[in-house]
Amino acid sequence: MTRAKLPAWVDYGLAPLLTLAAALGASSLAILAIGENPWAALSTLAGGAVGDTSGIGYTLYYATNFVFAGLAVALPFHGGSFNIGGEGQAYLGGLGAALVCLALPAASWWLVLPLAFIAAFAFGAGWAFVPAWLKATRDSHVVITTIMFNLIASALMAYLLVNVLIAPGQSAPETVTFAESAWLPQVTPLLASMGIEIGPSPLNLSFPVAILASFGVWLLLWRTRWGYEIRAAGLNENAAAYGGISLARTTILSLCLGGGLAGLVALNEVLGAQHRLLLGFPGGYGFAGIAVALMGRNHPVGIFLAALLFGALYQGGTELSFDMPDVTREIVVVIEGLVILFCGALESLFRKRLEAIFA
């Protein structure tokens, strides 16, 4: 049975809102179960995420990571590859950015920032290339290879940070702080210089880059010949071959571009917020990107919205466990998990009923 066609505002607006409401309903039960007031908890969560400019700043800062990580899954997905390797690709992206910043400590920002951007993208893309090449030539399963490459990335980076890149005379496995010329400008001081006061947050210029990247992915996939070929190959390999499309090429292209986008997580984290390379800096964003992409239906607009939701949950959840000590970090994770479960996996929960009404 094929899915009936729903009006766009129902498919992309009403249906997600209904599932979100159901998710919050289920979360309320979890909060009730630990003896807390769901209303108070959920309003603390919402207030933490969007209640003041600092909260909004943090929400958008987290959302930036989710946008890059989500796009990193979605773009290869359209080409028929399930990229689970965002985490490792982001990690390597960080290495690329850090190497540029460490190599050019005295260079000015207009040189080091573009180079670091390119390096982050290139290292992420390079890390995706091997699984992509294996799939294109040996038909290896990318789910397996990209997962393995996450593990390899994590081992490689641990080695490099502990033995090679570690700041001299320090015990924590992290690099020295970069020269300030390599810091991606943050929004709070930027607006302050224009006379607009907002609360402090690590939100930086990678957020507009994430918006541009979303637009770029949309443009590539739906407006160019290369995007057409990627989507054609993803939907029907036989027809793609018939149409003169090289499957090897679309596979490698889409996975490497995805890897590059994952590498851009480093833009936000390494260049925008931490200003040094930390052990384990991708912090699960790469994996969360899978859920973001699924929830956003692999469309850049959907991914952007899903990333905002994830960012808000992340920020609000941190605030919640801080303000209400009984709501432990684990319960916050449960709430986040429920939202992801409902919005990602149970997205067709209300579909039948909506189809009956609108289709």
Partner 1 sequence: MGMWDCMTLETPAVAFVGIDKRFGAVHANRDISLTLAKGSIHGLIGENGAGKSTLANILYGYLSPDRGEIRIDGQPRRFSNPSEAIAAGIGMVHQHFMLVETFTVLENLILGDGSRSLREAKASALATLARLAKDHDLGVDPEAVVATLPVGLRQRVEIIKALHRGAQILILDEPTAVLTPAEAEGLFTLLRALKAEGRTVLLVTHKLKEIMAITDHVTVLRQGAVVGTVETRSSSPAELAELMIGRKPSPPRRELSAPGGAVLEVRNLRVTGGDGRTLLRDASLSVHAGEIVGIAGVAGNGQSELLGALAGLLRPGGGKVALLGQDITRLDGRERRGLGIGHIPEDRLRDGMIADMSATETGLLGRQHEPRFNRPLLLRRGFVLETVTGWMRDYDIRPPDPGRASASFSGGNQQKLVCAREMERKPALLLVGQPTRGVDIGAIEFIHDRLLRLRDAGAAILLVSVELDEIRALSDRILVMAGGSIVGELSPQEASDRTLGLLMAGMEAKPGTEAA
The residues of the shown chain that bind partner 1, judged by CB under 8 A, are: 2, 219, 223-225, 228-229, 231-232, 235-236, 238-246
Token digits of residue 143: 């789910």
Do 157 and 283 form a contact (C-beta atoms < 8 A)?
no
* Cβ distance to partner 1 smaller for residue 4 or 162: 4
Residue 225 C-beta: closest distance to partner 1, Å: 5
Q: Three-state DSSP class for 202?
A: coil
Helix (H) or strand (E) holding 126: helix 109-138
Query: Can you tell me the distance from the alpha carbon of 56 to that of 337, in angstroms, rounded to the nearest whole number?
Result: 21
Residue 257 C-beta: closest distance to partner 1, Å: 15
Query: Can you tell me the distance from the alpha carbon of 98 to that of 114, in angstroms, rounded to the nearest whole number?
Result: 13
Tell the residue number behind the tokens 């990247």, with chain if given: 213
Residue 242 C-beta: closest distance to partner 1, Å: 4
* Cβ distance to partner 1 smaller for residue 2 or 163: 2
* Cβ distance to partner 1 smaller for residue 172 or 359: 359
Torsion of Cα atoms, 209 then 214 then 217 then 223, to 10°: -110
Query: Can you tell me the distance from the alpha carbon of 16 to that of 224, in angstroms, rounded to the nearest whole number?
Result: 29
* Cβ distance to partner 1 smaller for residue 120 or 253: 253
Query: Can you tell me the distance from the alpha carbon of 234 to that of 125, in angstroms, rounded to the nearest whole number?
Result: 19
Torsion of Cα atoms, 339 then 343 then 344 then 348, to 10°: 140
* Cβ distance to partner 1 smaller for residue 43 or 246: 246
* Cβ distance to partner 1 smaller for residue 240 or 340: 240
Do 311 and 303 form a contact (C-beta atoms < 8 A)?
no
Residue 298 C-beta: closest distance to partner 1, Å: 13
Task: Provide Rg for the chain, Cα atoms.
Answer: 21
Residue 139 C-beta: closest distance to partner 1, Å: 13
Q: Would you mind telling me the total number of residues written for the chain in this entry?
A: 359
Residue 351 C-beta: closest distance to partner 1, Å: 17
Q: Which residues pair with 174 in a beta bridge?
A: 278
Closest CA to 189 of 306, 297, 272, 94: 272
Residue 171 C-beta: closest distance to partner 1, Å: 51
Residue 208 C-beta: closest distance to partner 1, Å: 22
Do 262 and 289 form a contact (C-beta atoms < 8 A)?
yes
Token digits of residue 268: 């936000």
* Cβ distance to partner 1 smaller for residue 329 or 352: 352
Sequence-ordered list of residues with C-beta below 8 angstroms from that of 47, at least 6 positions apart, any chain: 55, 316, 319
Residue 357 C-beta: closest distance to partner 1, Å: 14
* Cβ distance to partner 1 smaller for residue 162 or 235: 235
* Cβ distance to partner 1 smaller for residue 135 or 231: 231
